[in-house]
């Protein structure tokens, strides 16, 4: 038990170092709040499996075409599909959005998520996960960006970096990574670490041809250490230029 606590404390300290290094390099993220929590949820659903640019374009088009959420609920699904097509998977996302709106109207008598303001993080997560098409990442993003809650979502970039850095097992899936990171991210640092890990994953630690020579985390990286070992470099040798 003591060994487990010690290992957990070391991992938390390691994650603090990573967050501090990224914050020094990229700065403190400033994120514009969503108009409403329901806006945040729908925009997050639209962001699934696509780029921020495409999902933002789809959300703007949706709100321009349908001024109220009641208009979205009343619209034929095919009309919604046509409007949000730029986000990709429109034939899946449109029915999910309508199903969520229908559920809210049935349960709450209005198209709003204001009732979640009284919920704890755990209760709010459970509630969001009960909605159609909402998984752990979508739920956590909604809480982080829509409510300012101190929760840590894991997307594809963060999942890749957490495995490369050795924070989680290289066999861990994204959901497992999110569960483990919840206990490792320091209080008040979820937004900073989330946004800056994504920035780092897009600019430097890319899925293909990562730019290890330009990486501020290179001295902490398990993947680089492994590559240095196999190439005969010592810990104080030259930086590796590539990881798998």
What DSSP line would sit under 82-118, residue for residue?
A: HHTGGGS-HHHHHHHHHHHHHHHHHHHSSS--GGGGG
Active site residue 187: no
The whole-angstrom separation of Cα 176 and Cα 53 is 28
Catalytic-labelled residue, pool 93, 137, 187, 242: 137
The whole-angstrom separation of Cα 194 and Cα 178 is 11
- Residues 6 or more apart from 128 whose CB is under 8 A from it? 41, 116, 134, 138, 139, 142, 143
Q: Which long-range contacts (CB under 8 A, 24 or more apart) does 44-48 make?
A: 44/138, 44/141, 44/142, 44/145, 44/146, 45/93, 45/96, 45/97, 45/100, 45/133, 45/134, 45/138, 46/84, 46/87, 46/93, 47/87, 47/141, 48/89, 48/93, 48/138
Residue 235, token pair as written in the block:
């810990």
What DSSP line would sit under 19-36, residue for residue?
A: HHHHHHHH-----PPPSS
- Using alpha carbons, list the distances in angstroms from residue 130 to 25, 49, 114, 123, 126: 38, 20, 16, 11, 6
Q: Which residues are catalytic?
A: 137
């Amino acid at each position: 038990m003591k060994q487990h606590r010690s290992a957990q404390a070391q991992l938390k300290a390691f994650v603090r170092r990573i967050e501090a290094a990224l914050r020094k390099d990229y700065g403190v993220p400033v994120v514009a709040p969503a108009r409403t929590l329901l806006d945040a949820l729908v925009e997050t659903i639209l962001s699934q499996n696509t780029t921020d640019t495409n999902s933002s374009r789809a959300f703007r088009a949706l709100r321009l075409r349908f001024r109220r959420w009641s208009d979205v609920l009343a619209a034929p699904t095919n009309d919604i599909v046509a409007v949000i097509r730029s986000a990709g998977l429109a034939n899946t996302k449109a029915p999910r959005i309508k199903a969520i709106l229908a559920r809210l109207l049935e349960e709450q008598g209005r198209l709003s998520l204001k009732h979640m303001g009284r919920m704890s993080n755990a209760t709010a997560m459970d509630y969001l996960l009960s909605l159609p098409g909402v998984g752990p990442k979508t739920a956590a993003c909604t809480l982080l960006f829509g409510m300012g809650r101190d929760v840590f979502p894991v997307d594809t970039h963060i999942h890749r970096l957490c495995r490369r850095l050795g924070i989680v097992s290289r066999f861990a899936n994204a959901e497992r990574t999110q569960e483990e990171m919840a206990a490792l991210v320091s209080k008040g640092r979820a937004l900073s670490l989330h946004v800056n890990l994504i920035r780092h994953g897009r600019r430097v630690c890319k899925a293909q041809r990562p730019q290890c020579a330009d990486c501020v985390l290179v001295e902490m990286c398990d993947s680089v250490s492994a590559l240095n070992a196999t190439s005969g470099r010592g810990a104080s040798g030259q930086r590796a230029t590539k990881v798998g």
